[in-house]
Amino acid sequence: MDEGARTLRHACTSLETFVGSLTEGASVGGMSLADAGWVSSSHHRHRTARSRLWAWAGWSTQLTLANILDHVQAIQRTLVGEPVAIWSLVSLSRVVQEGAIRVCHLYASGLSPEQRAVRIAAAWLNGARQHRTAAGEVGAQAIPEADRIWQYAEQTVQRAGMSIGLDGRGRPKSAVLGSVEAPFTVNLTNITAQRPTHLPAWYRISSAASHSTVWMVAQAFASDEDGQPVMRADPEIVTAAVLAVLGAFEDLVQTLGDYHGKDPQPALLTIRRRTVAVLDRQRKWRRQAEDDARLLYGDSGI
């Protein structure tokens, strides 16, 4: 378990170093050359607001990366604790994966400036909408601030030349720029499945663990010597949680490096080496478990 914590600690340092070096890339003010060119060539009435969209994207990305690193540090502490936690590792890794997916969705390669602009606008508006919903449940004192945040986002998007699409009940649902539209709500499960560095089905599995879904939580239950149900740590689960984090880091490095014009290959190679090391350790643990089972039960115990 200590090896897993050490791997994640080194991976966090590598990610922070790489993110800090993105200013050395070919981007301009946090924008790719294509996006910066599109903003600068926009009508003067839209230019400032469009710049603010990218400024918000950069700010929200900083917050998300900080949250990711905070959760990875929690995973590290959990791995070296006694007894080793089980499903909390999975839940923590889900936060890391989801944060990475949200960032990479904004900065995905192959998007036109218009497509990226509406994605950023939709993400901003959706967050402001969720803030208003939460404020209404917290109490009246929280509503004015939430309304102000929504209004600022709404005005910025409209001043950027966009409109806000409505659903059948007249509620905001998307950001629209000409023929380009981005929904507020995105299907993270489907997006994850399309990004190759993430563990297959991990987002759904970790969601089941986070929501205490019985079929998932039961996977870690066994019986003690008195026949009572107990939860036991499974090295396979621990390994999967660590691999999920490394896969998220690989996606972030590739996506942000490509967007900002910073070569991601050296950082990717470091992450992939750590991934191979984790898999090698897991194979050794599995062989050791099989050898121990043979000693205890003979070949019939395997």
Mapped onto helix, strand or coil, the DSSP state of residue 54 is helix
> In b/e form, how buried is each residue of 44-64, taking b as 16+ CB within 10 angstroms?
eebbebbbbbbebbeebbeeb
What residue segments make up the domains of the chain, in order of their start? 2-291
- pLDDT tens digits for 85-106? 778 889 999 999 999 999 999 9
- Percent helix, strand and coil across the chain, each to the nearest 5: 70, 5, 20
- Rounded to 10 degrees, the C-alpha dihedral 20/23/29/30 comes to -50
Confidence at residue 161, expressed as pLDDT on a 0 to 100 scale: 98
> Does position 251 have pLDDT exceeding 90, yes or no?
yes
Per-residue pLDDT tens over the stretch 193-227: 899 999 878 888 899 889 989 888 887 777 777 77
Output the pTM of the full model: 0.90
Task: Specify the pLDDT at position 290.
Answer: 66
pLDDT of residue 289: 62
Torsion-angle region of residue 278: left (phi > 0), alpha (psi -120 to 50) or beta?
A: alpha
Q: Which of the residue ranges 137-146, 170-179, 226-235 would you say has the lowest mean pLDDT?
A: 226-235
- Going by the DSSP 8-state scheme, the letter that residue 84 receives in this structure is P
pLDDT surpasses 70 at 55: yes
Q: Roughly how many angstroms between the first and final C-alpha of the chain, as a whole number?
A: 24
Does the structure show a pLDDT above 70 at 293? no
Nearest to 2 by CA among 81, 55, 67: 81
| In the predicted structure, residue 63 carries a pLDDT above the cut 60 | yes
